[in-house]
Amino acid sequence: MLPIVAWRNIWRSRTRSLVVIGSIVIGVWALVFLLGFFRGQVNNYINNIIENETSHIQFHDSLFTEDYDVRLFIAQSENILSELQERPEIGSATSRVIVNGMLSSSNAAQGVMVKGVHPDQEQMTTGLYDKIIEGTPFDSTRRNQIIISQRIAEKLKVKIRSKVVVTFQNTDGDISAAAFRVVGIYKTHNRMNDELYVFTHIDDMRRLTLLPDDAAHEIALVVNEFDSTDVFASRLSAEYAPILVQTYKQISPDLELFNSQIRVNMIIMTTIFMLALIFGIINTMLMAVLERMKELGMLMAIGMNKLRVFFMVVYETLFVSLLGAPIGMGLGYLTLKYLHYRGIDLSAWSRALEEFGMADLVRPVLDSESYVMIATAIVITAVLASIYPALRAIRLKPVEALRKI
């Protein structure tokens, strides 16, 4: 009976109830949108790092990542790569020769990390060719070709078909230098990577560094099931010991830290929104109680006990809150669905975003766990917001309340 009475009570002042429900709808919609936008930015950052730098899993010699010594290579890497490519868990894989060196032109010099790659495998793994903004991919009939970033090209003042010299150390410990012709200029959304990496054909780097024909310093994998990365990496580590097998989290621990910090920020933001919402609901329900003091006094005078009055006000608050929350969450879900498909263009701030390794197109998204968190927070908020108005209602003395004008 009490829920029915409470439901009718909230519609006695239709305008006030609709205003409160509307404010809840807007607040919840805004919260869902902001959380989805932040999550989209995090995914944007993580995906860029995985695509351009770490992949999902990498193989190295156990000591290679300490100082990138050219002599610390994986022997028979091509056989290992062939075995990995046959596994159904792996979407793509590639091997690389990685050498620290100096890239110089007649105008300037730049410290770089040279990646000798298999062109087709690298394209499948990182989409290297898709990032080329000027020039062409490698020509398999020519030697000593190099793809550099737009930033490096500007610093060295070179362009397509310019010649540059790469100086590096070979496996004998001698300093070698080789001339390369620029065939392509690429650009990513990560400034630091663009200023560091240049790409050549893996056969050229093996020949120039005196590495064996099947040697590589790195094998990078992209898995089909992202959530199974850790488990799959553990299996590979056991199978290919003593080769070091690492996931993107181990290679770049800041990704996991960044992800966990965003989760904390999302909880803090939800709490702030709920605190703002709770005061609005308390204010409205308190007004409703004060306006009905005479009515509540009459109900208590004819026998309605304080507990029933308390729960009647609680039901009213819950109904108002739970009417607005699903609508707000539904609108938020539809908004994120649309914006995830279209994307939010932040190209006006692209230079600033590149400093943080983020693309200028953000696709907002929110997982089911976040929706559950928001729904739980709204229920808790509604319950807490109902307590003070309900307590004010049961503190009324029937005789005094009936005398109120």
Give the separation between CA 90 and CA 197, rounded to whole angstroms. 25
Average pLDDT over residues 218-232: 89
Q: Tell me, what's the pLDDT at 216?
A: 93
Which of the four pLDDT bands, split at 50, 70 and 90, describes residue 293? low
Of 219, 113, 108, give the one whose Cα is nearest residue 168.
113
Of 209, 243, 191, 175, give the one whose Cα is nearest residue 98.
209
Which of 7-21, 281-295, 316-330, 349-363 is predicted with the least confidence, judged by mean pLDDT?
A: 349-363
Q: Tell me, what's the pLDDT at 304?
A: 67
Q: Tell me, what's the pLDDT at 396?
A: 62
pLDDT in tens, 116-174: 999 999 999 988 898 899 998 888 888 999 999 999 999 999 999 999 999 999 988 88
**200, two tokens:** 């050549």
Q: Tell me, what's the pLDDT at 17?
A: 74
Give the separation between CA 321 and CA 382, rounded to whole angstroms. 6
Q: How many CA atoms lie within 13 A of 214 on its CB side?
A: 8
Residue 302 scores a pLDDT above 70: no
Average pLDDT over residues 15-41: 85
Average pLDDT over residues 280-300: 69
Highest mean pLDDT range out of 244-248, 321-325, 374-378, 383-387?
A: 244-248
79 CB neighbour count, 10 Å cutoff: 10
Average pLDDT, the chain: 83
% of the chain beyond a pLDDT of 90: 28
Which of the four pLDDT bands, split at 50, 70 and 90, describes residue 366? confident
Which of 31-35, 144-148, 308-312 is predicted with the least confidence, judged by mean pLDDT?
A: 308-312
pLDDT in tens, 179-215: 999 999 998 877 788 888 999 999 999 999 999 988 9
Which of the four pLDDT bands, split at 50, 70 and 90, describes residue 99? very high
Give the separation between CA 150 and CA 159, rounded to whole angstroms. 9
Phi-psi region of 353 (alpha: psi -120 to 50; beta: other; left: phi over 0): alpha
Which of 13-22, 83-92, 139-148, 300-309 is predicted with the least confidence, judged by mean pLDDT?
A: 300-309
Give the DSSP H or E segment for 401: helix 398-402
- Write down the domain spans for the chain: 2-49+256-402, 87-213
Contact 96, 60 (CB under 8 A): no
pTM here is 0.76
Give the DSSP H or E segment for 344: strand 344-345
Q: Tell me, what's the pLDDT at 307?
A: 73
Of 116, 136, 121, 130, give the one whose Cα is nearest residue 182.
136
Q: Tell me, what's the pLDDT at 245?
A: 92
Fold of 87-213: Cathepsin D, subunit A; domain 1 (2.40.70)
Sign for the CA dihedral angle at 109, 115, 121, 122 comes to negative
Which of 22-26, 240-244, 292-296, 378-382 is predicted with the least confidence, judged by mean pLDDT?
A: 292-296
Give the separation between CA 239 and CA 59, rounded to whole angstroms. 12
Residue 228 scores a pLDDT above 90: no
Residue 274 scores a pLDDT above 80: yes
